[in-house]
Amino acid sequence: MEIIKAAGGLHKFMNWPWPILTDSGGFQVFSLAKIRTVKEHGVEFRSYLDGTTLFMGPKESMEIQRILGSDIAMAFDECPAHDCTPETAQDAVQRTIAWARECRVQPRAEGQMVFGIVQGGVDIGLRQHCARELAAMDFDGYAIGGVSVGEPEHEMMRAVDLTEPFLPADKPRYAMGLGTPAQLVELVARGVDMFDCVLPTRIARNGTAFTRKGTLSIKGGAAKADFTPIDKDCECYACRNFTKAYLRHLLNVDEILGLRMVSVHNSHFYLEVMREIRASLSAGTFAEYRRQFEATYIPTQKVLASRLERTAIAE
């Protein structure tokens, strides 16, 4: 924090003029479950580096985000596992509400917005209670938390369906940790405005690119002599300058440029989908856009299922 503070915040440290959103550390309450203890006023973590005991609560989380100087700071919450007991889910909601109340009154960086995070699993009563309590605090925006934590897709969508009706219509809605291109379209149809996800770069590191028809593996032998771009209609830097054959070569010799170029393409693809969604909403044609996207885009899990089926037939 001392380094970021001396630099004048993240924007100056990174020389990044665009918006920055910082998470509160609530996801680490979930992901570091083996080395943390949840208490009434926050969470004790055991450092994975040297075993030192560290404490994070609403005040500490908001102070860190104030120093970072992000444009959007998230309230500190407890994100339980999707298969937790009803009692655990209820306790997490109560802590999330109490911690949000404390986060709401902490000092902020100049111009910084704060979003509340709705928890509650797939329990409609808990989701409704949490959303209404947070809405009464009048946050700048609201996040749907407790999704993309290992649950099946239908449960993820159900959690969104249970939450969205109770969020203020005039404030941004943010689905945390989501999602695939097809999920983004479906979530916009459910009233969600904002997303964050590691998928564009995560699958790029595995040599997989997003296209209009679904995902495309570039590392395989099929691309060895394919001198066409990832997508002939794409205007990203990678597609304007390199072929699949060259990108495959880079990926297979572990050259960092290959990972970067597929990441550039995937990020461009996501942004282009969001631009198209905004344009269709403005034009009143989103329903048709949604139908066309669903008709042409094959989700990754369906591609994998099809490959497994073909393999089984061949054997």
Active site residue 23: yes
**What's the Rg (C-alpha) of the chain?**
21
Q: What are phi and psi of 218, to 5 degrees?
A: -100, -20
Give the number of other CB atoms < 10 A from CB of residue 252: 15
Which candidate in 71, 140, 196, 226 is catalytic? Answer: 196
Burial class (CB in 10 A: 0-12, 13-18, 19+), 224: exposed
> CA–CA separation, 216 vs 1, rounded Å?
40
Which candidate in 23, 138, 170, 231 is catalytic? Answer: 23
> CA–CA separation, 132 vs 127, rounded Å?
8
Q: What are phi and psi of 166, to 5 degrees?
A: -105, 5
Largest CA distance in the chain: 64
Three-state DSSP at 195 gives: strand
Relative orientation angle of helices 181-189 and 153-163, to the nearest 10 degrees: 30
Residues marked active site are found at: 23, 196
